[in-house]
Structure 1
């Protein structure tokens, strides 16, 4: 059995996210052994066939009977063929809830500063663009505390708000978590020179290489750049490799022939919530139909931390959730979706 998911336009290096589920207690690679995906550019196959694996299957934390298939095609595509073979072990078949693209917008220019003796930014242009292998390297040698730090800022083509910012980093001398935690300050910037956001947490270490990783951060303020400032030390030299930085932007859901999918939301329908920031309770307002709707909340890493059927416009957030930025999504019975940022203060 096959189903083709068709996007509005051709994209390259845009991650595909397909929401799936079944009647089983928990999804797994073993259960989905007969499922595969392949991208097409029009009617031409890209020959990038992928069977379900632990690399592309993400099982929901709150509901293990649901999950996503996530992968990033390297060739231009506007559709994905989802194939279900005889090896699938889910009773009742495979449910497809939605599909969308996350487009990557890479940093397009850079500025750097290296005024102190021995400070260096090597190959600064190598941190710009879609080449994720090359790198620029920031080096802050032994210096007095009042020395001038070395820094590099990467700029994006346009100002964005509420995007996922992804940065590829590595180090030659020590595990990357030690570098990020102790040797560098990272934050967003904007052309108005107003305060940006300090980027902390979100480091994902490469399981095959502890000296390499990615930083993933959900922005909440307008920005068009990210800056790296090496800390000064009297005792050791600090260094960081910056491979790339990109913004990930959500595009329209796909159209699926002969199937019910998420609909494009009309401009006159809105969702609002208050208070925001909140200490734990929010109230939903808007001219959308909340009847039989579902509520989802994800953290800044995209992980689902809360899910519930709609029962009341006033929602008490779980007491276990720490303070931070979250994304609340309301999905109506007609599969329309509305998303709003929440700032939780505790």
Structure 2
């Protein structure tokens, strides 16, 4: 009976490890997910308003664009909704925007609003463009809007009202994509640690500290599996990975022997 229970335990551990590796490889394969469909609309009383070349905002070409043009606005505006293939959560949403030659500022975009949509239902998170969302580029007439939506979503609506009448050449939308947030996974067995997730591991430096804060291991990764330089007691440790771009990622890991 004891040997049967031990065998089942080992089978469970093996299945768990294989599931971990499968999830890690799938996660590592993820990258930017660009909008693959769009819908544009003029609402209210907005004479001469339109979205020109709306399909240019769809796909991974970050250099062509749709143009949202404002005409004579009374009680209306223009909007473009960019849709993604699937409903997702835990992603950063990035929207590439610009003008023809007018430098972008938060004040200039006071009439631009964005909101996310799940299926056909709004997440009721419409918000104006603020300094925390606007990331200016080296080129003064281009920027990105970046945020991490709290709810799952598969579309983002960009809405212009009368507050952007100073955008004489129109408001450009270059692209929109979902960027899965970086994650790191770790599995320990018999003095070896296997890493996974979306963090770039090639050439990264990994360190391990015990709960007292003492560093017990440090090495440069040559693969996603590494051996501890010295055996460590079973327990909880703090794993830190510093990628080649100097970004650091930390998580807890349980060491088992």
Which residue matches 1:126? 56
Which residue matches 2:195? 262
Which residue matches 1:291? 236
Alpha-carbon distance in structure 1 between the residues aligned to 2:166 and 2:196:
56
What does 1:16-55 align with in structure 2 at a 5 Å threshold?
A: none
Alpha-carbon distance in structure 1 between the residues aligned to 2:179 and 2:52:
27
The answer to whether 1:241 aligns with 2:164 is no
1:107–1:128 contact (8 Å) kept in structure 2: yes
Partner SS, residue 114 of structure 1 = strand
**2:157 is matched with which residue: 227, 251, 254?**
227
Partner SS, residue 126 of structure 1 = helix
What displacement does 1:109 show? 0.6
Alpha-carbon distance in structure 1 between the residues aligned to 2:123 and 2:134:
23
What displacement does 1:223 show? 0.7
1:121–1:138 contact (8 Å) kept in structure 2: yes
What displacement does 1:176 show? 2.0
Q: CA 1:160 to 1:235, structure 2 compared with 1: closer, same or farther past 3 Å?
A: closer
1:104–1:248 contact (8 Å) kept in structure 2: yes
Q: CA 1:173 to 1:290, structure 2 compared with 1: closer, same or farther past 3 Å?
A: farther
Alpha-carbon distance in structure 2 between the residues aligned to 1:119 and 1:260:
58
* TM-score between the two structures when normalised by the length of structure 2: 0.58
What does 1:1-346 align with in structure 2 at a 5 Å threshold?
A: 8=25, 103-114=31-42, 116-144=46-74, 147-178=75-106, 181-198=109-126, 200=129, 201-207=132-138, 209-233=139-163, 236=166, 239-249=170-180, 260-262=193-195, 291-293=236-238, 330-332=251-253, 334=255
Q: CA 1:230 to 1:252, structure 2 compared with 1: closer, same or farther past 3 Å?
A: closer
2:108–2:166 contact (8 Å) kept in structure 1: no
What displacement does 1:191 show? 1.9
Please state which structure has a larger fraction of its residues in helix.
Answer: 2
Alpha-carbon distance in structure 2 between the residues aligned to 1:204 and 1:234:
18
Which residue matches 2:210? none
Q: CA 1:167 to 1:194, structure 2 compared with 1: closer, same or farther past 3 Å?
A: closer
What displacement does 1:195 show? 2.6
Alpha-carbon distance in structure 1 between the residues aligned to 2:62 and 2:165:
32
Partner SS, residue 68 of structure 2 = strand
Q: Which runs of 5+ in 1 are unaligned?
A: 1-6, 15-99, 265-288, 297-302, 308-328, 335-346
2:84–2:155 contact (8 Å) kept in structure 1: yes
What displacement does 1:175 show? 1.8
What displacement does 1:190 show? 1.8
Alpha-carbon distance in structure 2 between the residues aligned to 1:253 and 1:174:
41
Which has more radius of gyration? 2
Q: Which runs of 5+ in 2 are unaligned?
A: 1-23, 187-191, 198-233, 242-246
Higher relative contact order (CA 8 A, sep 6+): 2
Alpha-carbon distance in structure 1 between the residues aligned to 2:133 and 2:80:
20
* TM-score between the two structures when normalised by the length of structure 1: 0.45
2:109–2:163 contact (8 Å) kept in structure 1: no
